[in-house]
Amino acid sequence: MAIFKGAGVAIITPMKDNGDINYPRLAEILEDQIARGTDSIIICGTTGEASTLTHEEHLEAIRFTVEQVKGRIPVVAGTGSNCTETAIYLSQEAEKSGADALLVVTPYYNKATQKGLIAHYTAIADSVKLPIIMYNVPGRTGCNILPETAAYLVEHVENIVGIKEATGNIGQVAKLMQLTDGKIELYSGNDDQIVPLLSLGGLGVISVLSNVAPKETHDIVAKWFEGDIKESLRLQMKALPLIEQLFSEVNPIPVKTAMNLMGWEAGPLRMPLGEMEEAHKEKLMAAMKEYGIALKA
* pLDDT at res. 1: 74
Q: Residue 193: which of 233, 147, 145, 143 has the closest Cα?
A: 233
Give the count of alpha carbons within 13 A of 161, CB side only: 15
Question: Which residue in 135, 152, 256, 281 is the catalytic one?
Answer: 135
231-246 pLDDT, tens digit per residue, is: 999 999 999 999 999 9
Written as one letter, the residue type at 178 is Q
Q: How is residue 191 annotated by DSSP?
A: G
The question of whether 256 is a catalytic residue gets the answer no
171-194 pLDDT, tens digit per residue, is: 999 999 999 999 999 999 999 999
Q: Residue 207: which of 39, 19, 1 has the closest Cα?
A: 39
5-14 pLDDT, tens digit per residue, is: 999 999 999 9
Where are the strands (E) in the chain, listed by range?
Answer: 6-10, 40-43, 75-78, 101-105, 132-136, 160-165, 185-188, 204-207
Question: Which residue in 152, 164, 223, 256 is the catalytic one?
Answer: 164
The question of whether 164 is a catalytic residue gets the answer yes
Strand 132-136 and strand 40-43: the pairing is unpaired
Q: Residue 39: which of 219, 244, 176 has the closest Cα?
A: 219
pLDDT over 90 for what percent of the chain? 99
The overall pTM is greater than 0.75: yes
Cα(67)–Cα(70) distance, integer angstroms: 5
pLDDT over 70 for what percent of the chain? 100
Written as one letter, the residue type at 158 is E
The full set of domains in the chain, from first to last, is 6-226 (3.20.20.70)
Buried b / exposed e over 146-181, threshold 16 CB at 10 Å, is ebebbbbbbeebeebbbbbbbbebeebbbbbbebbe
